[in-house]
Structure 1
Amino acid sequence: MLTSHPTGLVRAAALPSGRIRSVAGTVGVLVAAVLLAVSHIYVTIPLVPAVAGEYATTVAAAGWIGSGFGFAFAVGNLVFPTVSDFVDPRRVMALGLLAVAGTGVVAGLAPNLTILIAARAVQGFVAPAVPPVALAYLPRVVPDRFRAMALAVLSSCFLLSGILGQAWSLSIGAAFGWRWSLGGLVPLLVVVAALVMMLPAASRPAAPGSFRTVLGTLAGMLRKPQMLAAYTGAVAFLLTFVGMYVALQASSAELGAADPVTGLLLRLPGLPGIVVGLFGGLFIGRWGPHRTGAGAFLVAAAGLGIEAAGGPLWLVLTGSAVFVAGLAVAVPAAVTLVGIASGPARGAGMAGYAFLVGAGASLGPLLAGALTGAGFAVTCGVLAVILLVPAAAFGASRRASA
C-alpha cells in the first residue's frame, strides 16, 4: 500500500471472535472499504470539465474539487491512525465510511462551486479514517501465515482505486450526470460500514502515542537518509499517478477518446501494472528495498517517457502500463524502507508517509492543470523527471546505509 500505521503488531494464531471470522471475509470487507474510500481521490478527475461548465467557471478553479480533497486527505492521514490507537478501529473505519457517504450527498447537491469544494475538503479529511486504519488493523487480526499476502492485496487497492474511481465517474456521469458520480456510492458506503462493524475485534497497541508524540518523532526521523528517500517517493507516488490521469483526461480528445467508453479503455492498461505490484515483496526479498525502489521508479519514469514520445495509441497505452507497474512495485519498497528507518516508532513513520502521499495527491491535479497548455507529452515528460528524484534518493540512501 501507499500507507500503514501499525504501532504494535500482535501475533495471532487465529482470528478473534467476530461475526465475520474467515481471513478471506475479513480481507474482502477491508478491500471494499479501502476501495470505496480511496476512489474518492480519483472520482472527480473526469468530472472537472462538466463541473466547470455547469458553474460557468474555469477548469483550473473547478480542479480544486480534487486538490482540496487531496490537501485535507493529507491532514487526515496524520489524525485518524492516532485516533484508532485509542478507539476501536472498526468504529473509526465505519464512522469514516458514513462520513464519506454524508459528504458525498452534500457534494452531489452542491448549489455552487464553493460549497462543492468545501464538501469535498471535508470528505478528504474523513476519508483517511479508512485506509491507514485498515492497514494498521489487518496485521492485528490476520494469522501470520496469511499476513504478507493480505497486506499485499490491501496495498494494491490504493492504485486500483484510481482505475475504478475514474471508471465509475465515466460510466455513471455519462448516464446520469456528474452529481450522481459523487452521491451514487452512498448505498455501498453504508453497507460496507455495517460489514466493518462485524469484523473481528483487535487488541490495541501496547503503547499508543499522542498526536504531539507522532509529530515529535517524525522530526527526529527526517535526519535519516533512508526515511528521506522513502518520503521523497511518498510525495511522488500520487503526484505523478494522479497528474498523469488528469493530463490524460484533458487530452482525451487529442488521443481519440472523446466519449466515455474510449475514455475508459484508455485507463484499462493500468490494471496489469497493478497486478505486478503483488510481486513487489519477491523483488524486495531478492534485491532489497533500495535497489527495488530505485529500479521501480526508473521503470515508472521510462513508462512516462514512452507516453511522452507519442506515436501510435497502442504505444502510449503500453507506456501507461509500464508506468503503473513501476509505481506498483515502488510502493511496497518505500513502505519497507519506512519500516526499517522507523524502528520501534513505525507508527509515527508511517503516519508521516501517509501525510506526504496525500500531499502528492493534491499537488498532482495542480501541476497537470498548470501544464495543460503545453500538451500531454510535455506533462508526461515533466512527471518522468520528477520520478528520477526518488530513484536517485533510493540509490543514495543505499550507499549511506552500507
Structure 2
Amino acid sequence: MLLVASILVVGQMYIVMPLYGAMASDFAVTTSAAAWTSTAFGIAYAIGFLFAGPMSDRYGPRRMMVSGLLATAVLTGLVAMAQGLVSATVLRSLQGAAAATFAPAAFSYVAMRVRPGHRVFVLSCVTSSMLASAVLMQLAAQQVVSALGWEAAFAACAPALGIVALGTHFLLRPTPGSGGTSLLSALARMPRLYCQRRLLVLYLATMTLLGSFVGVFTAIAIGGVSNDPHSLLVLRVAGLPAMLAVPFLVAFLQRFSAIDRAAAGFLVAAGAAVMASLFDGQLSHQALALFLLAGALAVSAPALVERIGQAAPAERGAATALYAFSMFLGGSLGGQAVSAFAAGGIAPALMWIGAALLLGFVLVNLSRRL
C-alpha cells in the first residue's frame, strides 16, 4: 500500500507535465500559462510539508496518511472538472497541500512500525517508488491524454487514491500520536532543527539530490533530444530499472552505515553525470550513465532519511517533513538552474549536475564531523 500510494501521490507532481498542451488548448491559454498548474501545486506541496510533519507527530502517521489520501482523492477529482485555468490552478494548489501529508507520515510510519532489520529495505522501496513516479506517471498521462483528454488523467487517479486510502486504513497498523503538543508549538520548534549543524548540512545535501534528479529530466527535455521522440523516451526511462532494482540490493547495502551509503550514492551519481556529458550524442552510452545515476540516487535518498531520523529521534515527523521540504525545494530550484545551461545542449547541463552531486557528497561527509 505504501508503494502504490507513493507512486500515485508523488506522481501528482509530474502527471500534469504531458498535459500542458491539451490544457492550454482547452482553456484557450498559452502552454507557459498552463504550466502554472504545476507551479501552484509545487508551492503548496512544499509549504504543506512544514505542517504535515508536526501533524503526523501529533495525530499519528496512519491517521495522517488516510485523511490526506482521501482529501487528495476528492481534490484530484475536482481538478478533472475544472472549467478554466484559474479554477484548475486553485484546485491544483489545494491538491498539492493535501498530497503533502503523505511523505512525512509514510517515513514516520516506517520508522515506528517496521523492524530495524527490514527498515532499510522498506525505506528504499518507498523512496524508489517516489522517484520512479516521475517516469511512470508522465508515461501514463501521455497515453491517457492522447486517447481521452487531459481530464481523464485526473479522473482515473481520483478513485485509485480513494481505494488506496481505504487499503491504508485497513492494512496498516495504528500509530499513536503525541497528542499534547499543539501544532503551533511544533511549528515553532522546526526552525531549531534547521539550526542544528548536522541536520542543516544533510538538508542541503538533500536539496542537491532531487535538484539533480529533476535537472536530468529538464536537460533531457530541452537539451537537444526533444525533437527525437525515440531518444527522449529512451533517456527518460533509462533510470527506471535501476530505481526498481535498488530495494533488492538491501541485503548488501545494510552492511554499510546510512552515512556511508548516502556518500557513496552521491559520488557514483556525480561520476555518472559527468560520464553522460562526455557521451553526448551516443544514446546507448548516455542511457547507461543515466541508469547508474538514477540507481545511485535511489541508494542515497533512503540513507538520508534514515540518517536524519537518527539525528532527531524525538521529532522524527518534523525532521522528515523538513527532509521532504528540502527535497522538493531542491527539485524546484534544480529544474530552473539546469534550464539555463541546457539551452547549450545536454552535455554542459549534465556537467553542472555532476558538480551539484559532488557538492552533495562533500556535505554528507561534512555531517560526520558535526
Query: Is 1:382 aligned to residue 352 of structure 2?
Result: yes
> Counterpart amino acid of 1:186?
A
Determine the structure 1 residue equivalent to 2:306. Answer: 336
Determine the structure 2 residue equivalent to 1:303. Answer: 272
After superposition, the C-alpha distances for 1:118-145 in whole angstroms (9 at most, x for unaligned) are: 2221111100222221232244444555
- Give the counterpart of 1:70 among 30, 42, 53: 42
> Aligned in 2, Cα 1:203/1:169: closer, same or farther, shift over 3 Å?
closer
Structure 1 residue 72 displacement after superposition: 1.2
After superposition, the C-alpha distances for 1:53-95 in whole angstroms (9 at most, x for unaligned) are: 5545554443332232222111212222322334364443233
Query: Is 1:327 aligned to residue 330 of structure 2?
Result: no
SS in 2 for 1:202: coil
Which shows bigger deviation, 160-169 or 305-314? 305-314
> Aligned in 2, Cα 1:197/1:292: closer, same or farther, shift over 3 Å?
closer
Quote the Cα distance in structure 2 between the aligned partners of 1:211 and 1:281: 39
Quote the Cα distance in structure 1 between the aligned partners of 2:207 and 2:138: 21
Determine the structure 2 residue equivalent to 1:108. Answer: 80
Determine the structure 2 residue equivalent to 1:184. Answer: 156
Quote the Cα distance in structure 1 between the aligned partners of 2:233 and 2:147: 14
After superposition, the C-alpha distances for 1:90-109 in whole angstroms (9 at most, x for unaligned) are: 44323322322222233233
> Aligned in 2, Cα 1:363/1:167: closer, same or farther, shift over 3 Å?
same
Identity, % of aligned positions: 29
Unaligned ranges ≥5, structure 2: none
Query: Is 1:44 aligned to residue 13 of structure 2?
Result: no
> Counterpart amino acid of 2:362?
A
Determine the structure 2 residue equivalent to 1:239. Answer: 211
Contact 1:68–1:121 (CA<8 Å) still a contact in 2? yes
> Aligned in 2, Cα 1:240/1:155: closer, same or farther, shift over 3 Å?
same
Contact 2:202–2:367 (CA<8 Å) still a contact in 1? no
Determine the structure 2 residue equivalent to 1:393. Answer: 363
Quote the Cα distance in structure 1 between the aligned partners of 2:337 and 2:127: 26
SS in 1 for 2:59: coil
- Give the counterpart of 2:103 among 117, 124, 131: 131
Which shows bigger deviation, 106-115 or 138-147? 138-147
Quote the Cα distance in structure 2 between the aligned partners of 1:384 and 1:50: 34
> Counterpart amino acid of 2:317?
G
After superposition, the C-alpha distances for 1:348-385 in whole angstroms (9 at most, x for unaligned) are: 32221122122223334434555553333333333322
Determine the structure 2 residue equivalent to 1:97. Answer: 69
> Counterpart amino acid of 1:332?
P
Structure 1 residue 253 displacement after superposition: 5.1
Contact 1:300–1:323 (CA<8 Å) still a contact in 2? yes
Q: TM-score, normalised by structure 2?
A: 0.86
> Aligned in 2, Cα 1:61/1:282: closer, same or farther, shift over 3 Å?
farther
After superposition, the C-alpha distances for 1:373-400 in whole angstroms (9 at most, x for unaligned) are: 33333333333222222111122223x2
Query: Is 1:31 aligned to residue 7 of structure 2?
Result: no
Contact 1:63–1:366 (CA<8 Å) still a contact in 2? no
Quote the Cα distance in structure 1 between the aligned partners of 2:11 and 2:148: 19
Quote the Cα distance in structure 2 between the aligned partners of 1:370 and 1:49: 23
Contact 2:272–2:289 (CA<8 Å) still a contact in 1? yes
Aligned length: 368
SS in 2 for 1:185: helix
Quote the Cα distance in structure 1 between the aligned partners of 2:327 and 2:180: 23
Quote the Cα distance in structure 1 between the aligned partners of 2:180 and 2:309: 17
**1:10-29 to 2 correspondence within 5 Å?**
29=1
Quote the Cα distance in structure 2 between the aligned partners of 1:64 and 1:280: 39
> Aligned in 2, Cα 1:57/1:280: closer, same or farther, shift over 3 Å?
farther
> Counterpart amino acid of 2:211?
L
Query: Is 1:257 aligned to residue 229 of structure 2?
Result: yes
More helix by proportion, 1 or 2? 2
- Stretches (4+) displaced over 6 A: none
Contact 1:276–1:328 (CA<8 Å) still a contact in 2? no
After superposition, the C-alpha distances for 1:217-244 in whole angstroms (9 at most, x for unaligned) are: 4333334442122101221222222232
Quote the Cα distance in structure 2 between the aligned partners of 1:280 and 1:221: 29
> Counterpart amino acid of 1:382?
W
Contact 2:271–2:354 (CA<8 Å) still a contact in 1? yes
Query: Is 1:312 aligned to residue 282 of structure 2?
Result: yes
Determine the structure 2 residue equivalent to 1:84. Answer: 56
> Counterpart amino acid of 2:363?
A
Determine the structure 2 residue equivalent to 1:19. Answer: none
TM-align CA RMSD: 2.9
Quote the Cα distance in structure 2 between the aligned partners of 1:106 and 1:369: 32
SS in 2 for 1:396: helix
Determine the structure 2 residue equivalent to 1:25. Answer: none
Structure 1 residue 271 displacement after superposition: 1.9
